């Protein structure tokens, strides 16, 4: 069990490529931290620096207050689960799981006991004498987890551990990992590019882009208060809708013009536009699909926040319906109730839940309503 | 006859010609070995009377073997060949596997790239070009000819380039870096990572290098004949040649000596042959 501290961590490769810039993070004991971002954003590099597999170009990395920059991976008391599982093909499952303990000269009896315990937790008892090639993807993944568990390390590092599994197994293993975190209470750092994994597993999420941390906060906070366009677009599925809107200030009110549609900005949000001098300028309006509604009661109550369009595609998913339509050139999705009468090709009027809108500066891409 | 039938007939004809050619080549290769096998169990008179008969008039005999073994001092030359082949093969495998691991995993070091390029280049230099300076340097200047260890080191030196090349391909293509990283995190040093993780996974390539080099060392005549002139240190090929020179008239004895010379390496080949194809093609196709 441990707390970690990353202070001004940088990674610059020999060719001058800046993989990670000024990474700062304090991780409390028993936290489940997710590094998320698109490919090449530096999330895996940061994890590898924590593991000791990559040198830290500058900055300080501490575990329980002890500087780890130059400590060998084996002496950091961490365990890592790799994307490819990295199981030793020539060893049985038992040997794979007990390998780290054997290297530490733990008595064989104790190794067996710990391996048996981990195998019981992970339902691997039947497979202990098999070699990795005789296991399915999910079983291999569990062996990789088991190898980490038997060590009882201070920190678990997981580098996209579910990305090689099929969709069904991924959901199942996601739950298993979550349960495991509850059970073991170990600090976990988990890298993924899948925002669903990030949202469901993490106690806090670190969103990265081009080696720079965009925002660090709880899943709920990131979803509801993204600090910029990137985070807003990355977190959530389907992603947030974005539309260019021209601001008009009339007296003490502010309006957004999106093509022929005019939306009245609620009182609690208009001051940033008025005080920020956005009158006549274009901002980006962001709204999540579930906040675009088509039910008559909501439409009647929100006459000043309506948009009109024609339904391009209707996706019936059973519990909900996705409607795809165009708003002033921007492809927009609404997540509505399954009993919606709207069909592909029909003209539609939607009302936006203006309490849930986000406003982004067109140039800086920062959220005008929430800053960290 | 339709076009398809004509094509099928042509394919069959081509196949038949190919099989016939293969059979002819096979017979050409196997015939000397069969001649050795059938004549080694006959006495001199039966061999002279009919070398192609399976069993001679005087019946089946094994008396050629003890005689040949005694006259060519077989146990001693076998011991020499065994020591030299085993030591040189093990040394080649260890040195080249370690060298290729360092070269592959430090690809950014210029020294590694240069070293590897030099090793590959050295493979095209024929041994015959080197043999005269070799003997004059080691024999004339250092005066260290007639030592088994010198031959072991020379064999290793000449074979290490090819072996490194093979291990290089195997490590590069078949050993994921993540395995080594997992081992480092589990608590291995670089040295332990190599011996506990990488080396065991190189088994098919080790078997291939072992059989190719062991056969080359066991059967080599030229290098041992230059280095070892002391009769006590003779290897099987030199002893067989010397034996043939002395007893060329007693063909039964010669056959026995030849069979004794080839038998050990043949047995080794039978044991390791399943690894050869796997080792040679390792890395050719992504697994």
Nearest to B178 among A79, A86, A90 (CB): A86
Surface-to-core class of residue A201, CB atoms within 10 Å of its CB (0-12 exposed, 13-18 middle, 19+ buried) = buried
* pLDDT tens-digit map of A245-296: 999 999 889 999 999 899 999 988 889 999 989 999 999 999 999 999 998 9
Q: Which residues contact A267 (CB under 8 A, 6 or more apart)?
A: none
Residues of A with CB under 8 A from a CB of B: 14, 51-53, 72-74, 78-80, 82-84, 86, 88-90, 99-100, 103-104, 147, 151
Q: Do B184 and A100 touch (CB under 8 A)?
A: no
Residue B273: predicted pLDDT = 75
* pLDDT tens-digit map of B235-258: 988 988 888 877 767 788 888 888
Residue B287: predicted pLDDT = 34
Spell out which residues of chain A touch residue B170, defining contact as CB-CB under 8 Å.
Answer: none
Nearest to A51 among B185, B188, B197 (CB): B185
Cα angle, residue A25 at apex, residues A161 and B181 outer, rounded to 5°: 40
Strands A241-250 and A330-336: unpaired
pLDDT, mean over chain B: 87
The SS3 assignment for A133 reads: helix
Give the pLDDT mean for B157-178: 93
Residue B44: predicted pLDDT = 82
**For A152, nearest residue in chain B (alpha carbons):** B186
Spell out which residues of chain A touch residue B182, defining contact as CB-CB under 8 Å.
Answer: 80, 82, 86, 88, 147
* pLDDT tens-digit map of A97-148: 999 999 999 999 999 999 999 998 888 999 999 999 999 888 998 899 899 9
Q: Which residues contact B100 (CB under 8 A, 6 or more apart)?
A: B164, B165, B167, B168, B170, B171
Strands A187-192 and A155-159: parallel
Strands A241-250 and A282-287: antiparallel
Spell out which residues of chain A touch residue B181, defining contact as CB-CB under 8 Å.
Answer: 51, 53, 73, 80, 82, 86
Q: Do B178 and A14 touch (CB under 8 A)?
A: no
Six-digit token string for B93:
């495998």
Spell out which residues of chain A touch residue B200, defining contact as CB-CB under 8 Å.
Answer: 90
Choose the mutation target among A51, A52, A55, A73 for the interface with B, i.e. most B CBs under 10 Å.
Answer: A73
Q: Is the pLDDT of residue B58 over 90?
A: no
Q: How many CB atoms lie within 10 A of CB A324?
A: 17
Position with higher pLDDT, B140 vs B109: B109
Torsion of CA B194, B197, B199, B201, to 10 degrees: -150
The distance of A81 to chain B (nearest Cα, Å) reads 8
Q: What percent of chain B has pLDDT over 70?
A: 95
Residue A310 has phi, psi (to 5 degrees) of -115, 135
Q: Do A80 and B176 touch (CB under 8 A)?
A: no
Residue B21: predicted pLDDT = 97
Provide the 8-state DSSP code for A41: S
Q: Do B176 and A147 touch (CB under 8 A)?
A: no
- Please, are residues A287 and A367 in contact by the beta-carbon 8 Å criterion? no
**For A99, nearest residue in chain B (alpha carbons):** B186
Q: How many CB atoms lie within 10 A of CB A182?
A: 10
Tokens 């049985």 map to which residue?
A92
Alpha carbons A262 and A281: distance in angstroms, whole number: 15
pLDDT, mean over chain A: 92
Nearest to A103 among B108, B178, B187 (CB): B187
Residue B283: predicted pLDDT = 44
Q: Is the pLDDT of residue B168 over 90?
A: yes
Under-70 pLDDT residues of chain A: 1, 372
Nearest to B185 among A79, A83, A104 (CB): A79
Residue A344: predicted pLDDT = 92
Q: Give the model's confidence band at B286: pLDDT under 50 very low, under 70 low, under 90 confident, else very high.
A: very low
Position with higher pLDDT, B56 vs A236: A236
Domains and CATH numbers, chain A: 4-234 (3.40.50.300), 241-361 (2.40.50.140)
Give the pLDDT mean for B154-174: 93
Helix H segments across B106-233? 110-122, 127-135, 148-174, 177-186, 190-192, 199-201, 203-219, 222-227
Q: Do A80 and B181 touch (CB under 8 A)?
A: yes
Residue B280: predicted pLDDT = 56
Residue A192 has phi, psi (to 5 degrees) of -155, 160
The SS3 assignment for B27 reads: helix
Residue A168: predicted pLDDT = 83
Q: Identify the CA nearest to A194 among candidates A178, A175, A207.
A: A207
Residue B276: predicted pLDDT = 67
Q: Which residues contact B259 (CB under 8 A, 6 or more apart)?
A: B36, B37, B40
Six-digit token string for A346:
């029909």
Cα angle, residue B31 at apex, residues B27 and B33 outer, rounded to 5°: 130
Across A234-244, b (16+ Cβ under 10 Å) vs e yields: bbbeeebbbbb
């Amino acid at each position: 069990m441990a707390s970690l501290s990353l202070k001004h961590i940088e990674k610059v490769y020999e060719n001058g490529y800046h993989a990670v810039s000024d990474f700062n993070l304090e991780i409390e004991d028993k936290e489940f931290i997710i590094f998320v971002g698109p490919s090449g954003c530096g999330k895996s590099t940061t994890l590898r620096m924590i593991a000791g597999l990559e040198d830290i170009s500058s900055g300080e990395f501490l575990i329980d207050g002890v500087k780890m920059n130059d400590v060998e991976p084996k002496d950091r008391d961490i365990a890592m689960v790799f994307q490819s599982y990295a199981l030793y093909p020539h060893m049985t499952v038992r040997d794979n799981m007990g390998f780290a303990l054997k290297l530490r000269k733990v008595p064989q009896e104790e190794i067996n006991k710990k391996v048996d315990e981990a195998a019981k937790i992970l339902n691997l008892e039947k497979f202990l004498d098999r070699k990795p090639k005789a296991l399915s993807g999910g079983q291999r993944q569990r062996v990789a987890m088991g190898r980490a568990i038997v060590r009882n390390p201070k920190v678990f590092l997981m580098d996209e551990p579910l990305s090689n599994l099929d969709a069904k197994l991924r959901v199942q293993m996601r739950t298993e990992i979550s349960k495991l975190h509850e059970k073991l209470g170990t600090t976990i750092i988990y890298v993924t590019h899948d925002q669903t994994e990030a949202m469901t597993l993490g106690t806090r999420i670190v969103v990265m882009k081009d080696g720079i941390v965009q925002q660090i906060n709880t899943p709920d906070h990131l979803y509801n208060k993204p600090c910029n366009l990137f985070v807003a677009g990355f977190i959530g599925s389907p992603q947030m809708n974005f539309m260019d809107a021209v601001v008009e200030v009339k007296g003490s009110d502010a309006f957004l013009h999106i093509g022929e549609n005019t939306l009245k900005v609620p009182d609690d949000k208009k001051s940033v536009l008025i005080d920020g001098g956005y009158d006549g300028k274009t901002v980006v309006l962001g709204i999540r699909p579930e906040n675009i509604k088509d039910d008559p009661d909501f439409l009647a109550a929100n006459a000043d926040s309506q948009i009109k369009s024609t339904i391009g595609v209707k996706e019936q998913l059973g519990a909900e319906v996705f409607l795809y339509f165009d708003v002033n050139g921007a492809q927009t999705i609404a997540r509505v109730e399954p009993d919606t009468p709207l069909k592909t090709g029909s003209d539609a009027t939607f009302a936006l839940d203006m309490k849930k809108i986000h406003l982004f500066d067109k140039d800086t891409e920062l959220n005008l309503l929430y800053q960290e | 006859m339709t076009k398809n039938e004509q094509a099928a007939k042509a394919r069959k004809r081509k196949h038949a010609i190919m099989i016939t050619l293969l059979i002819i080549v096979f017979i050409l290769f196997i015939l000397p070995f069969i001649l050795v096998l059938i004549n080694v169990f006959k006495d001199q008179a039966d061999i002279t009377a009919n070398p192609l008969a399976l069993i001679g008039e005087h019946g089946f005999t094994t008396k050629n073997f003890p005689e040949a073994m005694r006259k060519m001092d077989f146990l001693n030359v076998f011991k020499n060949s065994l020591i030299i082949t085993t030591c040189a093969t093990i040394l080649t495998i260890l040195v080249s596997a370690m060298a290729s691991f360092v070269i592959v995993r430090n690809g950014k070091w210029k020294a590694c790239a240069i070293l590897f390029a030099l090793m590959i280049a050295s493979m095209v230099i024929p041994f015959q070009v080197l043999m005269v300076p070799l003997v004059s340097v080691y024999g004339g200047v250092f005066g260290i000819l007639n030592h088994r260890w010198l031959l072991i080191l020379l064999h290793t030196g000449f074979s290490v380039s090819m072996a490194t090349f093979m291990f290089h391909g195997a490590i590069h293509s078949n050993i994921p870096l993540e395995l080594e990283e997992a081992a480092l995190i589990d608590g291995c040093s670089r040295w332990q990572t190599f011996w506990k993780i990488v080396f065991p996974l190189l088994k098919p390539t080790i078997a291939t290098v072992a059989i190719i080099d062991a056969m080359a060392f066991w059967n080599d005549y030229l290098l041992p004949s230059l280095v070892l002139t002391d009769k006590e240190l003779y290897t099987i090929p030199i002893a067989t040649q010397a034996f043939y020179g002395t007893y060329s008239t007693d063909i039964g004895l010669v056959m026995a000596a030849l069979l004794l010379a080839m038998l050990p390496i043949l047995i080794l080949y039978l044991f390791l042959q399943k690894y050869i194809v796997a080792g040679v093609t390792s890395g050719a196709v992504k697994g």
